[in-house]
Chain A
Amino acid sequence: MPDLITDLITDAELVRRFPGQPLSHDSAAHYRGRLARKLLINRCAACGTWHHAPQPICPACWSTDVVPTEVAGTGTIHLAVFLHQGPPAEGVDYSTPYPVVTVELDEQPGLRFTGTVVGSPNEAVAIGKRVTLDWIDRAGTPVPAFRLVESSAS
């Protein structure tokens, strides 16, 4: 993604912005995308297969031409938990259980991304609900999250 201004951020600065995240030469583009509020998922230029988390090779055809590619961010909740306790994180108060959902993205069956849900009470968050990508800020760094699509919100 040479058009991203975030390419100007050094690798060292990227590591500083994402403490505790699995940063590597394979995942750096994904995290640079986050700084631009773009959800980039690796897609194989040879066979079109998507995969996540970012790997250096396509697991379907072994092409190394894997391209971090922006996804629509729409999908369906596949897994859902509510954390009554958890690791310290800015803006997270577990007195209201913190929702974490794994979303099956529309781009490919089985391609999933995990994040929290914003904009709805926990009672409305459930497996099977449709969501779309949103972003929250944590310590000044964008974190991908999901928002229930109105028609499926209860």
Chain B
Amino acid sequence: MISSRNPAKNLVAIAGAATTGFSSKNTPRSQASYAAEACTAVIRACGLQAGDIDGIVGTNPSAAEVQAMLGIPEVTFFANPPIPVGNHMAAAVAAVHSGQCDTVLVYHASYRLPWNTASALKDPFRGLGPSMAGPGPDTVGGVVGYTAWAARYMYEFGVPKETFGRIAINDRSNAVHNPAAAMRTPMTMDDYLSARMIRWPLCLLDMDVPVDGADAFIITTTERARDLALPPVLVNAVTLGMIDKNEEDQTPSLRHHGHQVVVNNLRAKSDFWTDGCDLYYAYDGFTPITLNWLENAGWCGPGEAGAFIESNWDAAGSRIMINGRVPLNSHGGALSEGGTQGSGYIREAVHQLQGLAGDRQVAGARTALLTLGGFFFNAQGLTLVRD
């Protein structure tokens, strides 16, 4: 049930975050090597050692593989949740607050795979895995789902393609300032509108960039984080959200899916919402998801994302600056930093709140609102605050 009950509020913290940076080309490295690089970087940045870690949460490679790879002697908690990475954060926060463990290593390694990029097929080590036989073209399941609902969004509100393009351009403009990003060449509306159509109405630049790379985090009690090397970022609230009719073609409507559950529950549990946030991150695996997050989170009304973006557009920076001060996806999002399945947004929010965001630093940022995931089976959200 939607509830303001939140006994872990501000008592669990993200003590640090690290990234390998991302490449949109096949690299001669394994997924495990990226996980290892990000995990060792974040453990060192926090001033910890392998023996200090007693919880591990990640997907690929598995927690067991990471424990063996890094020689972490003993853990009392581990989990391999499905992506996106809000799931990992929710598991880590719950494990720390309940006392199942004290210090969790959370990681996510993105890896270019044959199902999302044909060129990945050229690397025999990336493999085809088990049978790739799919259900054929007569479905809106999987990657087609957001395209189908993008068409519905255009139908219901008369939205032009340029509105989707604003999301892609905003991300690219932010990625220009992010050395970890895979795509850093500025993008114009002409570039966007002339991109190859993949599945009408969405084109190549409406879809996230498959990348190689990894992010990693340390989650611990706020009390312990205060003794570590970096400023703690407190988890004000974290939630997942899903409804019963969660298959792509059975989802009831644009106003009834996982987003609304996340927004209602996260808002009830958090100390701030859109009015009080200095940073906003909205999932952009496909551009229509971001437009709908803006509307569903309450920045504007249904169908109004286009007008909202126009009135909050920073022409000089070619990007969104809400009320002239809150950037959207300051790292470049999945569309330009790379498809990190959620980890990039959280890592960037942590670095911004720690004052470690380099050229992209938002001066004095103290609060971040993150609405991650899509409509169907993976909506999630976090609110983070600087200690």
CB within 8 A of A20: which of B134, B151, B196, B199? B134
B155 touches A127 (CB 8 A): yes
Partner of A145, one of B138, B144, B198: B138
Number of chain B residues whose Cβ lies closer than 8 Å to a Cβ of chain A: 28
Inter-chain contacts of A53 with B (CB < 8 A): 247, 250
A81 and B138 contact, CB distance less than 8 A: no
Which partner residue on chain B sits nearest A53 by CB separation?
A: B247
The interface bits of chain B over 239-260 (1 if a CB of A lies within 8 angstroms of the residue's CB, else 0) are 0000011010110100000000
Given contact pairs A81-B200, A97-B200, A127-B152, A20 touches B138 in the complex (Cβ within 8 A)? no
A12 within 8 A of B: no
- The answer to whether B133 touches A19 (Cβ under 8 A) is yes
Q: Which residue of B lies closest to A51 (CB)?
A: B250
- CB of A86 within 8 A of CB of B249, answer no
Name the residue among A20, A79, A80, A84 with the largest chain B CB count within 10 angstroms: A79
Q: Report B-chain residues with C-beta under 8 Å of the C-beta of A87.
A: 134, 136-137
Q: Is A102 a contact partner of B148 (Cβ separation < 8 A)?
A: yes
A29 vs chain B, min Cβ distance (A): 18
Q: Shortest Cβ distance from B178 into chain A, in angstroms?
A: 30
Contact check, A112 vs B249: say whether CB atoms are below 8 A apart.
yes
Question: Would you give the 0/1 interface string for B115-157, flagging 1 where the beta carbon is closer than 8 Å to chain A?
Answer: 0000000000000000101111111100010011101100100
- Per the CB 8 Å criterion, the residue count for chain A at the interface is 36
- Is B197 in the interface zone, CB < 8 Å from A? yes
Q: Which residues of B contact A126 (CB under 8 A)?
A: 155
Are A116 and B140 in contact, CB atoms less than 8 angstroms apart? no
Contact present for B144 and A81 (CB under 8 Å):
yes
Bound Cα distance from A2 to B244, whole angstroms: 32
Tell me how far the C-beta of B159 lies from the nearest C-beta in chain A, rounded to whole angstroms: 13
Given A20-B134, A87-B136, A89-B136, A52-B200 contact (CB < 8 Å) = no
Asked if B137 contacts A92 (CB within 8 A), the reply is yes
B138 contacts A52, C-beta separation under 8 Å:
no
- Known: A20-B135, A102-B148, A112-B250. Is A85-B155 also a contact (CB below 8 A)? no
A84-B197, A110-B245, A112-B250 are known contacts. Are A78 and B152 too (CB-CB below 8 A)?
Answer: yes
Q: Given A81-B147, A127-B151, are A102 and B140 neighbors across the interface (CB < 8 Å)?
A: yes
Report how far A89 CA is from B137 CA in the complex, Å. 7
Known: A22-B135, A89-B137. A83 touches B199 (CB 8 A): yes
State the CA gap A112–B136 with chains docked (Å). 18
Contact with B along A97-115 (1 / 0, CB 8 A): 1101010000000101111
Contacts of A22 in B (CB 8 A): 135
Is A56 in contact with chain B by the CB < 8 A criterion? Answer: no
A48 close to B (CB within 8 Å): no
Q: With an 8 A cutoff between CB atoms, is A128 at the interface?
A: yes
- Contact residue among B138, B196, B250 (Cβ-Cβ distance under 8 Å from A100): B138
Complex CA distance for A115 and B144, rounded to whole angstroms: 13
**CA distance in complex: A83, B142 (Å):** 13
CA distance A110 to B151 in the complex (A): 17
- Among residues of A, the one whose C-beta sits closest to the C-beta of B146 is A81
How many whole Å from B132's CB to the nearest CB in chain A? 9
- The interface residues of chain B lying within 8 Å CB-to-CB of A102 are 140, 148, 249
* Closest chain A residue, CB of each to CB of B154: A127
Closest to A90 in B: B136
Residues of A within 8 A of B247 (CB): 53
Chain A residue nearest to B253 in the complex (CB): A110
List, in ascending order, chain A residues with CB within 8 A of B137's CB.
83, 86-87, 89, 92, 98, 100, 116
Q: Which of B160-205 contact A (CB under 8 A)?
A: 196-201
Q: B201 — which chain A residues lie within 8 A by C-beta?
A: 81
> Measured between alpha carbons, how far is A107 from B245 in the docked complex, in Å?
17
Q: Which residues on the B side are within 8 Å of A116 (C-beta)?
A: 137-138
Taking a contact as CB atoms under 8 Å apart, the answer to whether B138 and A114 are in contact is: yes
| Contact present for B151 and A80 (CB under 8 Å) | yes
What's the Cα separation between A124 and B226 when bound, in Å?
63
A114 touching B249 by the CB < 8 A rule? Answer: yes
A153 within 8 A of partner (CB): no
Residues of A near B197 (CB, < 8 A) are 84, 97
Closest Cβ neighbor of A145 among chain B residues: B138
Across the interface, which residues of B come within 8 angstroms of A127, CB to CB? 151-152, 155
Contact A83 B144 (CB under 8 A): yes
Can you name the residue of chain B whose Cβ is closest to the Cβ of A113? Answer: B249
Binding site for B on A (CB under 8 A): 19-22, 52-53, 59, 78-87, 89, 92, 97-98, 100, 102, 110, 112-116, 126-128, 138, 143-145
The contact sample of 16 A-B pairs, CB cut-off 8 A, is: A19-B133, A21-B136, A81-B147, A81-B148, A83-B137, A89-B136, A97-B200, A100-B137, A112-B249, A113-B249, A114-B139, A114-B140, A127-B151, A127-B155, A128-B155, A138-B136
